[in-house]
Amino acid sequence: MTAAFSDLDDVRTLLREMPLADEDAAADARARDGQLTKPPGSLGLLEDLAVWYRGWRGGARAEITRPQIIVFAGNHGVAARGVSAFPAEVTAQMVANFQHGGAAINQLARVAGAKLDVVPLELDRPTADFTQEPAMDVADCMAALRAGWDAVDAHADVLVVGEMGIANTTAAAAIACALLGGSAEDWTGRGTGVDDAVLRIKASVVADGVARHAEAGDGLEVLRCLGGRELAAMAGAILRARHLRIPVIFDGFICSAAALCLHHAGPGALDHAVAGHLSTEGGHGRLLEAMDKAPMLSLGLRLGEASGAAVAISVLKAALACHVGMATFAEAGVSDG
Amino acid sequence: MTAAFSDLDDVRTLLREMPLADEDAAADARARDGQLTKPPGSLGLLEDLAVWYRGWRGGARAEITRPQIIVFAGNHGVAARGVSAFPAEVTAQMVANFQHGGAAINQLARVAGAKLDVVPLELDRPTADFTQEPAMDVADCMAALRAGWDAVDAHADVLVVGEMGIANTTAAAAIACALLGGSAEDWTGRGTGVDDAVLRIKASVVADGVARHAEAGDGLEVLRCLGGRELAAMAGAILRARHLRIPVIFDGFICSAAALCLHHAGPGALDHAVAGHLSTEGGHGRLLEAMDKAPMLSLGLRLGEASGAAVAISVLKAALACHVGMATFAEAGVSDG
């Protein structure tokens, strides 16, 4: 299936015509959960994850055997404004590191038994500096959305999306500020570890960008004006997964900002998605709250690369293993209180 | 190695003569961590876990290939006081369920690639009602400690301990109250899901037990007077793991109460151990704080059976995989800021 969209209105149509969860499958899952040999509710989030997963997979077996992790990489015009502790060439260097198996996400994908796909997006052609003009024109934004859409493996049984891109916490902060309000300082954090002086520059760049694109009317326009190719690609992948009924675990602050653009443009657009973890990037908790997403994990991560969501795959596997494999009270001859 | 102790003073000696972490190995690990292709600190808890693990394993390869999970089961005299939502025979029924592979921990052990050992401890001979007399005499307590000590596989590379025992949140609450102070209500929670009326009975049983054994002088005496066989066995296993330099992940409220007894009797006794998760049992967070242990996970679990700690094995595996497998900045040719 090739992307069936050529402008942002086509994406808006796809957001209006999304499949919904299979309520019968979810109800079956909830009923089975109530029969399993444990006190009701005692598996907490693991129970909720199993019911959620079965709702999206319908009749399919509730088992994770083909997880896919996609890391999208992009470069940002605002990097030239000195908003990062690392130079822009690190994006391409880290893509090479991913391709040679040396990054954190390579190890985490192996532990999770997941296929890892790395998708660099025109790294030699950074987006425009969003304090001066929209980060992407419509054609660039559509190409990035389509790259995300096309990168999803239709046979995956869970999708994890993440990113790499020097300066992309600046883009994410600008998106959050534009869509959720508050000051630039509220959303601007230390990213890979900037000092106080850079943090002030970063906040002023965010403020300038938000002010310049104040007319952007919805999440997709904000994504185009303030985002970046890897953010648009993550949005495209999350949307494709929805149409394929593949449950999604999304990663930290930048990924959440991309998800927020979908959430803003299409209510319910993230019902098939869970937040893998809470990053230490300052605004992440509030960003998740705005989407009504409780993070699965809180491990003090702030790396990106889909790292937190990759760890969360194991938690989802645990949830499904319990749901599918446990005996019922009747099967086990256990008194149910 | 058979247990080298026959009374509680022998255990106190073992607590005084514990091996310490290998500081050189930990320093090597911290130095390596600083070279890996990620911003410093960006893997958060995963970095700390890798350094901690390597400190305890010394020169051994930092990889989890032989995790062992032990679930100890015991019955409690106080169950007859009506403190649980489930009848006492459920302990034996659940042990049979473990043995037939139908419980949550069976599925979670499989996901974690762990060996699961189930150790029922004289289920047909409950401990005494601690509101009337000590839960265990010295011989019973030593036998349970020894059962825990002997159950540890000397070749395991991480140990997870957990429990099953109807009424054992009552015993755990009494231990916490006796060693940490506060009221019985502060420590008494809903366990498997008791209603308000049972919760009041449970708190009064806890208060009676704590008052009766107010003279218990240290954590080991409190363990004997207010604990139970599965709690003593968990303590014995944690202590054995220390002497074998096997890192431990301990489970929820009851397991933490058993660990607290060691912590109280021997400062530093839990340095080789981490808390796998935060249970929803009310007092668990405060109990962990008293031992200065931050939980790895918070998944809303309250099942016991080592379930939360079993999920945490995957997080530790992820931490070690990153530590061992990632490229350094120099190896990958990545600019390090």
The total of other beta-carbon atoms located within 10 Å of residue B20's CB is: 12
Sign of the alpha-carbon dihedral angle for B201, B203, B204, B208 = positive
Q: How far apart are CA B127 and CA B134, in angstroms?
A: 9
Residue A44 corresponds to which tokens in the numbers above?
């907490």
Interchain contact, B334 vs A110, CB within 8 Å: no
Interface of B with A in 128-157 (CB under 8 A): none
Minimum distance, in Å, between the CA of residue B29 and any CA atom of chain A: 16
Q: Distance between CA B19 and CA B241 in Å, rounded?
A: 10
**pLDDT class of B59 with cuts at 50, 70, 90:** confident
Q: Do A46 and B301 make contact, defined as CB atoms within 8 angstroms? A: yes
**Would you state the pLDDT for residue A4?**
63
As a whole number, the mean pLDDT across chain A is 96
In B, minimum Cα distance to A298 occurs at B297
pLDDT band at A296 (very low <50, low <70, confident <90, very high): very high
C-alpha angle A47-A50-A53 in degrees, rounded to nearest 5: 145
Looking up residue A182, the CATH number of its domain turns out to be 3.40.50.10210
Is residue A305 annotated as a catalytic residue, yes or no? yes
Give domain status of residue B11, yes or no: no
Q: Is B79 touching A (CB cutoff 8 A)?
A: no
- Cα nearest neighbour of B306 on chain A: A43
Q: Residue A190: its pLDDT value, please?
A: 93
Residue B46 has pLDDT above 80, yes or no: yes
The mean pLDDT of chain B is: 96
Instruction: Give strand pairing partners of A163.
Output: A72
Q: Is B74 helix (H, G, I), strand (E, B) or coil?
A: coil
Confidence at residue B61, expressed as pLDDT on a 0 to 100 scale: 80
- Name the residue among B86, B96, B99 with its Cα closest to residue A335: B86
Rounded Cα distance between B122 and B146, Å, is 13
pLDDT in tens, B35-44: 999 999 999 9
Distance CA A302, CA A191 (A): 7
In this structure, are residues B62 and B323 in contact, taking their beta carbons and an 8 Å threshold? yes
Domains in chain B: how many in total? Answer: 1
Residue A193 domain-assigned (yes or no): yes
CA diameter of chain A? 70
- The average pLDDT across A89-99 equals 97
Both tokens assigned to B259: 């660990």
Q: Cα A251 to chain center, whole Å?
A: 5
Q: Nearest to residue B85, comparing CAs of B197, B175, B231?
A: B197
Shortest Cα–Cα distance, B184 to chain A (Å): 23
Phi, psi of B27 (to 5 degrees): -65, -40
- How far, in whole angstroms, is CA B317 from its chain's centroid? 18
Residue B19 has pLDDT above 70, yes or no: yes
What kind and span of H or E run contains A71?
strand A67-73
For testing the chain A interface, which of B69, B97, B297 should be mutated: the one with the most A CBs within 10 Å? B97
Q: What is the pLDDT of residue A304?
A: 97
Q: Which of A47, A163, A281, A305 is catalytic?
A: A305
Please name which of A112, A334, A79, A296 lies closest in space to residue A191, comparing C-alpha atoms.
A79
The pTM of this model reads: 0.97
* CB environment A102-111: b (16+ within 10 A), e (fewer): bbbbbbbbbb
Position B42 in a domain: no
List, as one string, the DSSP characters of B112-135: HT-EEEEEE--TTSPPP-TTTS-S
Range of the domain at B308: 67-316
B22 is a domain residue = no
pLDDT band at residue B5, thresholds of 50, 70 and 90? confident
Active-site option among B47, B221, B281, B305: B305
Res. A61 pLDDT band, cuts 50 70 90: confident
pLDDT by residue (tens digit) across B222-279? Answer: 999 999 999 999 999 999 999 999 999 999 999 999 999 999 999 999 999 999 999 9
Q: Do B317 and A111 touch (CB under 8 A)?
A: yes
- Answer whether residue A34 shows pLDDT above 70: yes
Contact B44 A297 (CB under 8 A): no
| Cβ atoms within 10 Å, residue A196 | 7
Which one of B35, B36, B37, B168 makes the best mutation probe of the A interface by having the most chain A beta carbons within 10 Å?
B37
pLDDT tens digit string along B65-75?
Answer: 999 999 999 99
CA atoms of A72 and A150, how far apart (whole Å): 12
Of A44, A94, A310, the CB nearest to B334: A94
State mean pLDDT over B310-326. 98
Contact at CB, B321 and A296, closer than 8 angstroms: no
Is ipTM > 0.85 here? yes
Residue B248: per-residue pLDDT: 98
Which residues in chain A have their CB less than 8 angstroms from residue B298's CB?
298
In chain A, pLDDT over 70 holds for what percent of residues? 99
Contact check, Cβ <8 Å, A332/B300: no
Instruction: Write down the pLDDT at residue B6.
Output: 85
Q: Does B326 sit within 8 Å of A107, measured CB to CB?
A: yes
Asked if the model's pLDDT at residue A1 lies above 80, the reply is: no
For residue A26, being part of any structural domain is answered with: no
- Could you tell me if A71 and A98 are in contact, meaning their C-beta atoms sit under 8 angstroms apart? yes
pLDDT band, very low/low/confident/very high, at B4 (cuts 50, 70, 90): low
Q: Specify the pLDDT at position A2.
A: 54
A40 touches chain B (CB under 8 A): yes
Flag whether pLDDT at A259 surpasses 60.
yes
**What share of residues in chain A are helix, strand, coil (percent, to 5)?**
50, 10, 40
B324, part of any domain: no
pLDDT band at B122 (very low <50, low <70, confident <90, very high): very high
- C-alpha neighbours within 13 Å on the C-beta side of residue A195: 2
C-alpha B182/C-alpha B327 separation (Å) is 50
Interface residue B168 vs chain A (CB under 8 A):
no
Greatest Cα pair distance in chain B: 70
> In this predicted structure, what is the pLDDT of residue B251?
98
Task: Find the mean pLDDT for residues A145-174.
Answer: 98
From chain A, pick out residues whose CB is under 8 angstroms from the CB of B36. Answer: 104
> Is B45 in the A-facing interface, judged by CB distances under 8 Å?
yes
Chain A 92-131, CB below 8 Å of chain B: which residues? Answer: 93-94, 96-97, 100-104, 106-108, 110-111
pLDDT, one tens digit per residue, over A42-54 is 999 999 999 999 9
CA A287 to chain centre: 12
pLDDT of residue B27: 97
- What's the average model confidence in pLDDT over A76-93? 95
B177: which 2 tokens? 């109250």
Cα of B248 to nearest chain A Cα, Å: 18
More confident position, A31 or B2:
A31
Beta bridge partners of residue A67, listed in sequence order: A158
Where would I find the beta strands (DSSP E) of chain B? 67-73, 115-120, 158-164, 248-250, 273-275
Q: B196 exposed, middle or buried (CB, 10 Å; 0-12, 13-18, 19+)?
A: exposed
Q: CA-to-CA distance for B106 and B64, rounded, in angstroms?
A: 19
CB contact under 8 A, B43 and A102: no
Asked if the C-beta of A301 comes within 8 angstroms of chain B's C-beta atoms, the answer is yes
SS3 assignment, position B92: helix
| B60 part of a folded domain | no
pLDDT band at A60 (very low <50, low <70, confident <90, very high): confident
Which pLDDT band holds residue B2 (cuts at 50, 70, 90)? Answer: low
Q: Amino acid letter at B290?
A: A
Judge whether residue A319 has pLDDT over 70.
Answer: yes
Answer for the pair A116, A106: CB distance below 8 angstroms, yes or no.
yes
Contact B177, B266 (CB under 8 A): no
Cβ contact, residue pair A327, B37, below 8 Å: no
Chain A residues with beta carbon closer than 8 angstroms to that of B38: 103-104, 303
Best A37, A116, A160 member to test B by mutation, with max B CBs in 10 Å, is: A37
pLDDT, position B74: 98
- A12 within a domain of the structure (yes/no): no
